[in-house]
Amino acid sequence: MLIDPSLEVLLTKADSKFSVVSMVSKRVRQLNAGWEPLIKVGDLKPVGIALKEIAEDKIVMRKDNAHKESIIEEECEKIEESEKSDL
């Protein structure tokens, strides 16, 4: 059974396995909260969607002075802003 995307590909997008896991978990929480996927999902579950988004550079790692965190490109920021305005 091959895993797609592979761990080798994902590790090129972050500096450690921990960083990949952090990015995936944050994105899964966003997807479960109703955020729109940045890719065509087909029959993928939230974890699979997050992994594919990382592999396709839809989610990138940003290095801050104090810590590292994942950020979502402009599409997700626009969704968040529209959700805030709906409240």
Report d(CA 78, CA 25) in Å as an integer.
20
Residue 27 burial by Cβ neighbours in a 10 Å radius (0-12, 13-18, 19+): buried
pTM tops 0.75, yes or no:
no
* Mean predicted confidence (pLDDT) in 14-25: 89
Cβ atoms of 59 and 14 closer than 8 Å: no
Q: List, for residues 32-71, the tens digit of each pLDDT value.
A: 999 999 999 889 999 999 999 999 999 887 766 444 444 4
Cβ atoms of 24 and 50 closer than 8 Å: yes
- The helix (H) or strand (E) run that includes residue 47 is helix 46-55
Q: Domain 7-86 maps to which CATH number in 1.10.1060.10, 3.60.15.10, 3.90.940.10, 3.40.50.150?
A: 3.90.940.10
69: phi then psi, degrees, rounded to nearest 5 = -150, 155
